[in-house]
């Protein structure tokens, strides 16, 4: 699939952060239900930045030369990974859906916007 032609609504982490800081919501979608393995929970989660008027931008990995500039949907495989990403973006809390098909939405509060360092 040629992502630049067929799927233009994708962003890398830097742009995702900018969109969330400018008012977009961060939507977490559970693609595979969480299961406990040892002390951690594993599953598959993806994220989208969603504007108030419904524009969606899917989070993807950065392009790399080893994959011929392919773009791949960014998948988080642990709850710790999801929470760590949200903290880096500037969120002070995380609500992570645990069952396949569930989604949650986070929006930066004014107090959160200053803490994304």
- 108 located within any domain: no
Do the beta carbons of residue 89 and residue 82 sit within 8 Å?
no
- The predicted pLDDT at position 112 comes to 60
Residue 111 located in a structural domain: no
Domain membership of residue 109 (yes or no) is no
Residues shown for the chain:
117
pLDDT for the residue numbered 68: 63
For 69, other C-beta atoms within 10 Å of its C-beta total 10
pLDDT of residue 114: 54
Low pLDDT (below 50) residues in the chain:
1-6, 116-117
Examine residue 84 and state whether it is found in any structural domain, yes or no: yes
Which contiguous run of DSSP H or E holds residue 20?
A: helix 13-21
**25 assigned to some structural domain:** yes
Q: Residue 28's pLDDT is what?
A: 98
Task: Count how many domains the chain has.
Answer: 1
Look at residue 109 in the predicted model and tell me its pLDDT. Answer: 79
Count CA within 13 A, CB hemisphere, residue 51: 9
Of residues 53, 48, 46, 63, the one with CA closest to residue 2 = 63
Q: Is residue 34 part of a domain?
A: yes
Domain encompassing residue 24:
10-101
In a domain, residue 23? The reply is yes
Task: Give the three-state DSSP class for 33.
Answer: strand
Residue 21 resides in a domain: yes
């Amino acid at each position: 699939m040629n992502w630049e032609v067929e799927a233009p609504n994708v962003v890398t982490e830097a742009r995702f952060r900018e969109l969330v800081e400018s008012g977009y919501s961060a939507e977490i979608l559970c693609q595979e239900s969480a299961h406990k393995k040892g002390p951690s929970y594993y599953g598959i989660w993806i994220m989208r930045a969603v504007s108030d008027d419904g524009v969606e931008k899917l989070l993807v990995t950065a392009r790399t030369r080893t994959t011929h500039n392919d773009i791949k949907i960014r998948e988080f495989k642990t709850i710790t990974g999801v929470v760590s990403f949200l903290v880096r973006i500037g969120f002070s809390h995380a609500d992570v859906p645990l069952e396949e098909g569930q989604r949650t939405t986070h929006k930066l509060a004014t107090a959160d916007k200053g803490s994304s360092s």
